[in-house]
Amino acid sequence: MYFISTRGKKEKIKGSQAIINGICSDGGLYVPESFPDVSDKLDNLVNLSYKDLCFEILKLYLDDFTEEELKNCINKAYDDKFDCKEIAPTVKVKDKYFLELYHGPTCAFKDMALTLMPLLLETSLKKNNIKEDIVILTATSGDTGKAALEGFKNLNQIKIIVFFPKDGVSSIQKLQMQSQEGDNTYVVSINGNFDDAQSAVKTIFNDEEFKEILKNNNYILSSANSINIGRLLPQIVYYFYSYFDLVKNKHIKLKDKINFTVPTGNFGNILAAYYAKLMGLPVNKLICTSNDNNVLYDFFNSGIYNKNRELILTSSPSMDILISSNLERLLFEISSRDSEKVNNLIKDLNNKGLYKLDANMKKNLNSFRSEYANELEVKRNINKVFKEYNYLIDTHTCVAYTSYMKYLKKHKDCTPTVIVSTASPYKFSKDVLYSLGEEVNNFDKFEIIEKLSKFSHTEIPYPIKKLKTSLILHNENCEKDEIKSEIKKILKM
């Protein structure tokens, strides 16, 4: 298996090199040269544990890793850091299915890949005899930052620098990042929004002069965002695992089709579901859901991607994004892998802030549907789900739930559907408790967490509980145009 660029196909490299590089030299994203077809092997995969399934899927892509190397990384990643043995359980709540992806060390779905990706990178460095230190540069809208910091802490030969929007994450997300331990971890808030941070980081990745300065100081840049193929590939696994969960529990028969409804910001999570479908997982529709920042909803319904709008800060901050980086990989597939078309669309996005799909590309979006949920609907439905089902969901999961209910009403599609639950409600305890009709003003974040636990009769996850005694270790702040100088300062260059 080789990996190529969405923008030119000039590079053709193995998985370990793609993981080290993070982004292609032409600014494109790495994609598999082809997708392995496992549709006739589903029988053999259905009863595997999460770890074994992960191995069977990843070995198809990362075939330059030995079996021992890959299994070693997987076994270290999915251990007792997760608070349930299934790692990613799909739970039936009355007539709905929720894929719970928040049982890891930071209580968000990013753990599913970011417990494994750092180990894949560490192994890749050894395999390729890389002597320089790797600098992981990441912009986060909340959850990636903490999960990446936790995954990369104290690894040899790697430093990680995370930038997050000062007022664009929840108080718990902020505290999780600012209290991060590890000699190689650095956290900086910026005066701007997530798109400002992401754009600055992407510019740095394409700055050949700056990369040369880094190289002269014995550093190589890489990324932990889902633009890194080593982050995206592990996410494919939980879609297969969830499907097999439904089969094993006799909710569906093997080869029956299902839908997935995914709360979507940077597009990596739902793209992994699309990759699973391309591999032969029986998927009917992928329902891409947005909050008030509904640029993706508009894209799927009109074929026009238009970022020319104000970013709205919502109660689901991990989705407060106007530039979905991973969408480029989808453009590559729906254009029949025409990198010239991809380049022209990205050029239009950079120059005009929008692009329009041609008729063929729009037709190729048929696997997707899209809906969005506004703030009032999210508040109302967190309350409704708890009252009717005695099931507590966070704001992002509620965007997916609300959007699915709209989809159901509109399309009358009775295909079994899994709602992807991306974060613990305790990461967004203030908004969740407020949605339940409880008083949140004049209480600090920890009092709110305690109130939520008592009101809902649910247990506070340990990673959230321990924050109460955590020390603030990172308090750096910079302007959005100072990110490069901040990096130089951290690396003492």
Neighbours of 454 (CB within 10 A): 10
Neighbouring C-alpha atoms within 13 Å toward the C-beta of 125: 19
Local structure of residue 253 (DSSP, 8 states)? -
Q: Is 250 an active-site residue?
A: no
Catalytic residue among 59, 76, 110, 445: 110
How many Cα neighbours within 13 Å face the side chain of 345? 27
Q: Vertex 95, ends 93 and 98: CA angle to 5°?
A: 45
Total count of residues recorded for the chain: 493
The rounded distance, in Å, linking the Cα atoms of 55 and 47 is 14
84 C-beta neighbours (distance < 10 Å), count: 10
Q: Name the β-bridge partners of 162.
A: 138, 187
Q: Which residues contact 146 (CB under 8 A, 6 or more apart)?
A: 106, 108, 110, 140, 173, 176, 177, 180
| Residues 6 or more apart whose Cβ sits within 8 Å of residue 102 | 108, 109, 111, 394, 421, 422, 423, 424, 427
Using CA atoms, how far apart are residues 307 and 223, in angstroms rounded to an integer? 23
Of 51, 83, 326, 355, whose CA–CA distance to 202 is shortest?
326
C-alpha span between 56 and 78 (Å, rounded): 15
Task: Please state, in angstroms and as integers, the Cα–Cα distance from residue 340 to each residue in 48, 307, 360, 365, following that order.
Answer: 41, 21, 15, 19
- Dihedral sign for Cα atoms in the order 371, 377, 383, 388: negative
* Token pair of 176 as six digits: 């999780």
Cα angle for residues 160, 233, 275 (degrees, 5° grid): 140
Q: Which residues are catalytic?
A: 110
